[in-house]
Structure 1
Amino acid sequence: MRTFGYYEGLAAVVAQDGWHHITPDGSDVYARRHAWCGNFQQRRCAVRGQDGKYFHITPRGEDAYPARWRYAGDYRDGIAVVQADDGHSSHIRLDGSLMHGKWFVDLDVFHKGFARARDEGGWTHVDLQGQPAYTRRFHAVEPFYNGQARVERFDGAFEVIDETGAGLVVLRPPRRSEFASLSGDMVGFWRTQTIGASVELGVVEALPATEQEVAERCGLLSDGSRRLLRALGELGITARRGEQWTLTARGELLKADHPLTLSDAAVEYAGPFTTMWARLSDALRHGSTWTSPDVFSVVAGDDVRCLGHHRMLRSYARHDYAEVCCALDLRSNERVIDAGGGLGVLAELILDAHPSAEVTVLERPEVIAMAPPVSRVCWRSGSLFEPWEIEADAVVLSRVLHDWDDDDALQILRNARTALPRHGRLYVVEMLVSEESAAGALCDLHLLMATGGRERSAGHFERLLSIAGFELAAIRRLPALPSVIVGVAS
């Protein structure tokens, strides 16, 4: 059906039964058929199997190694880039073994000893050990050429750097100033309050409508309606078609009946959370009398806020947890405790994947009261800090430990260890912060102000698990924000 050029004496072709390679006389090299074939480079060729997974084959059509990848590129100098299921990329050798074991958001092959690599902070160059050549990060980088590379900075400037990251020549001045950028960051509360007001005033639910119709339905001044709708338009939440304003796909997320509604989050961030953040200086100052709020007790004392707060958490769970179940190596009939499992989103996903499992959500009594009336989940009212008085084969702590300081987190982990037999498994679902990058630092500050908790690195979790009686068995990174830290009861 289609033919491509010869590389290393073999050409990729598409036949009725699939992709494969032929020799110069047109003979099939092998009997297998693939969903796609690349070209041979260094006696290796990337192919995509019928299952959608990528791998490399040898000139005889045999697997070059047993692993399967989300994507695999061509080899250069005996090294190729592969992408894992979690979306991160690394380098492999000809035999499929990992070259350095470092994983990046995006990655290129090596050129003159360096590879372009992108981490959470931006683009950089890494050496053969997968280590960044310098500390700076850029919007884009080109490969090094005779020891120098052109890069684009985050402010839009083009620059030439050397292999230490030092700037040598500015090729284009910044397209925006750091003054304007910092000023934009300082008025971020404008966005928070605008979105919060649009939900609180009922504007989101009033659309589609004209400016005057919104004013009448929501009890607004005509000028106020116009100005708020225009501000929402600047944020990409609304769009105007003639005289009528409608919600964009982004704006639909603020509707109360959306499965992933962020309406409750908008009210929380614009209201109680803003008040908490106002004391950030006190929280950081030596000798301050500030103490972290007991946000869960405060929320429990307000029925309206309690409902909205947990609907907010449910939306984040629905958005992030679909990939989590794939990383839990649970067996079909195991007993699982989802400690601090909220309204049971993850528990239901576990039961979808393992219908014979017994999943118990351990939660505060006010959360149990909001649980779905018909549910496959077993609900148990209790405190994470008191003895759980329940046994299981596996415990899941999903976005629980980051709400607490180390002492409290250790108490929860010890209770989890008591609930498990030796070799029982613990799954901690959390965002991991890097020791080398500042990514996640703002979320870390938010946890300080909202709960007194913190985000943690993989090394930090390993230390906590060890103290509580667990051995770190694996860290499974996901395409979504959280990762899964697997511990085994020792």
Structure 2
Amino acid sequence: MQNMQYEKTPDELNKFKHLNHIEISECRTFHKLGGLPLYNPRFIDVEKFHHPGIAPVHDQSGGYHINLDGIAIYKQRFDKTFGFYCDRAAVMDKGKYYHIDLEGNRTYRGSYDWIGNYQEDKCVVRQGDKFFHIDLAGNRLYLEEYDYVGDFKDGIAVVYKNRQATHINYKGHFIHNKWYKKLGIFHKGYANAEDNNGWFHIDIKGEQIYDHRYKMVEPFYNGYAKVETFDERLGQIDITGNIKHVIHTPDTISQMHKISRELVGFWHTYLINAASQMGVLQLLPANTVSLGKKLKVNQENLHRFLRALWEINFISYDGKNDIWQLADKGQFLIDNTFMIKAAKMWGKVITQENWLKIPELLKQEPIQSFLSFKENENNEDIKTEFYQALLGYTALDITEFAKKIDINQKTKVLLFGVHSLVLVDILKSKNINSISYHNEPKLPAQLVRNFDVVIREENDSTKECDLVIFTRFLQHYDDNKVLSYFKALKNTKVSRILLVETVIEECKPMGGIVDMNIMVEAGGKLRTRINWENILEQVGDFSISDILPLTSYLSVIDIRKK
């Protein structure tokens, strides 16, 4: 058979001139040019023609490639064929993938669980659940494996690992070693990036080029990029991130519905709390009749309740068979038991009267801290569940602690605040064995017995320690109370203090809602770096050495004795 890379018939040459105008027929069984069939044969399915005038097709014999006359360019047949890129085409053969040349021959020995198309002579492949790139000869470009890799463009590709994304070059080296939630490819010097606050653009150094965040951003096009704001406005921004042209704004009805959803957000809290108390999710899958009997609830009322959980995507319903089953959110809730406890805790939070007294609280100068509903809870079982919910959140938030914080093995550590208990295993893994917990406010015995830590309840618990760690603890207190904790450490052996806190910024919204919750619940507050520096200045002896981010909303403030 002729090799299409080097030789074409006169008829093919004429068709090749119009390659970009060749279309797939509506029935997808042949190609057209100028509204007329390009050739006589018919197939089960055809795909688009690519340079050098070759298209993937499928018929009763299998998958293969044809030329512009509809003739097979080789004898081999495959399960599935894809387009030619860089003179290579991806094929599926007996459930595995590899690349072939224009004669239908393998271009390398190995096979993969999935492959992409060659771009810039490099290709994405997947083996098992790991992705990497290979060259034209099938050789790996680098040793590292990722959760996902994208195509190279201008020598740069996006890679994902541990739910974060960055950019690499052909050698697998990081372009900037900045990691984001999601990333796009670089286009005209900028790439789309997403963090926990939204989408924006970064430069080749991985740095944001503006502070704004959007619901969606597109690549820059002649100096402007299309964006969508969180209130559903569409517009164009320049490289300052400011909207320079408004495409459209949401209509009145859309705005009304959006604000109404915010106003009735407590509906969700109460529904999930009720589902947690009843244990509904743990009984699924099930039909309405059996659920009604197990829960001792009227079937009609139960169906109404389940429909509401269905609407907020915690469960789904197969009406044909009358089967209720877990959706992804519901499955996550029961797989992570602390979330069930969190649902009960938040159900209690929104009943606090202080939410209705925010205007009065704001007038206090200063707002003084007080015991929260958790400390005031008399039932030890309920109190334990509240704290277990908090521990569940923090355990997920501090996974980077061990990697980012260096602590000498001989250090004697004292922990403050229930959230600090999740650090016990992390510290033990670093061979730090002298770990104590200052039990104030006092925790339920059934909670602390699960942690390998010395419980100290005396006022001089700081006497022998070198390092004190406050984890989401000082945020619950007013400045005077925080100052008293620091002053108590001033004339001790303590040479280092770590604060695990959300550090807010005056000109950014992050942390605003949590800050209000802390104010309502305990009279505490989140603080800026300047706030912390002002407190330490009053103490003397201590100063901030560094602030290390653990997540986009939680950091470790490293304080050292001067």
- Provide TM-score, normalisation by structure 1: 0.72
Instruction: Confirm or deny: 8 A CA contact 2:313 2:327 kept in the other structure.
Output: yes
3-state DSSP of counterpart to 2:409: coil
CA offset at residue 489 of structure 1?
A: 1.6
| Inter-partner Cα distance in structure 1 for 2:158 and 2:197 | 31
Shift in Å at residue 362 of structure 1? 1.4
Check whether the contact 2:180–2:193 (CA below 8 A) recurs between aligned residues: no
Q: Does 1:488 align with 2:560?
A: yes
* Compared CA separation, residues 354 and 195, structure 1 to 2 (3 A): same
d(CA) in 1 for partners of 2:349, 2:166: 44
Conserved in 2, the CA contact under 8 Å of 1:121 and 1:437? no
Secondary structure of 1:168 counterpart: strand
- The one-letter amino acid of 1:72's match is H
Alpha-carbon distance between aligned partners in 2 of 1:387 and 1:152, rounded to the nearest angstrom: 55
1:362 equivalenced with 2:441 (yes/no): no
C-alpha RMSD of the superposition: 4.2
- 1:71 aligned partner: 166
Counterpart check, 1:412 vs 2:479: no
Q: Which of 451, 475, 483 is residue 547 of structure 2 equivalent to?
A: 475
Shift of 1:301: 3.0
Pick closer, same or farther for the CA change 1:108–1:83 going to 2, 3 Å.
farther
TM-fit CA distance, 1:262: 1.6
Letter in 2 for 1:261: F
Q: Residue 433 of structure 1 is aligned with which of 504, 514, 518?
A: 504
If you compute each CA radius of gyration, which structure gives the higher value, 1 or 2? 2
**Is 2:153 the counterpart of 1:153?**
no
For residues 171-250 of structure 1, what are the structure 2 equivalents within 5 Å?
177-241=254-318, 242-250=321-329
Larger RCO (CA under 8 A, 6+ residues apart): 1
User: 1:323 aligns to what?
Assistant: 400
Please say which of residues 147-156 and 324-333 is displaced more in the overlay.
Answer: 147-156
Pick from 459, 462, 483: which aligns with 2:530? 459
219-228 or 120-129, which moves further after superposition? 120-129
- Other-structure match for 1:56: none
- How has the CA–CA distance of structure 1 residues 109 and 462 changed in structure 2, closer, same or farther, with 3 Å as cutoff? farther
Q: CA-to-partner distance for each residue in 1:171-217, whole Å, 9 max, x for gaps?
A: 68669722211111011011011111112233234433322333332
CA deviation vs aligned residue, 1:211-263 (integer Å, no higher than 9, x gap): 233333223222221111111112222223432323334224544xx554222
Partner residue, 2:473: 400
2: distance between equivalents of 1:4 and 1:131? 27
CA distance in 1: counterparts of 2:529 and 2:185, whole angstroms: 25
SS at match of 1:225: helix
CA contact (8 A) 1:282 1:290 kept: no
| 1:338 Cα offset (Å) | 1.4
Decide which of 258, 266, 271 is 2:348's aligned counterpart: 271
Distance in 1 between the 2:420 and 2:204 partners?
47
Letter in 2 for 1:427: L
Aligned length: 424
Q: What do the CA deviations read for 1:364-413 (whole angstroms, capped 9, x no partner)?
A: 3741622454653212125xxx5434322222111111111222122223
**Match of 2:55?**
none
Structure 1 gap segments, 5+ residues each:
21-32, 54-68, 90-104
Task: Output one character per residue of 1:343-375: Cα deviation in whole Å (capped at 9) or x when no partner.
Answer: 832212221x22342111112374162245465
Residues 39 and 450 of structure 1: CA distance in aligned 2, closer, same or farther (over 3 Å) = closer
- Alignment CA distance shift 1:200-1:330 (3 Å): same
Instruction: Note if contact 2:196-2:552 (Cα within 8 Å) is conserved in structure 1.
Output: no
Cα deviation for residue 275 of structure 1 reads: 2.1
For the residue of structure 2 that corresponds to 1:474, the secondary structure is strand
Runs of at least 5 residues in structure 2 that lack an aligned partner in the other structure: 1-107, 110-117, 123-132
Q: Is 2:188 the partner of 1:82? A: no
Contact 2:543 2:560 in 1 (8 A): yes
3-state secondary structure, aligned to 2:480: helix
TM-score with structure 2 setting the length? 0.64
* % identical aligned pairs: 23
1:348 aligns with 2:425: yes
Contact 1:209–1:244 (CA under 8 A) maintained in structure 2: yes
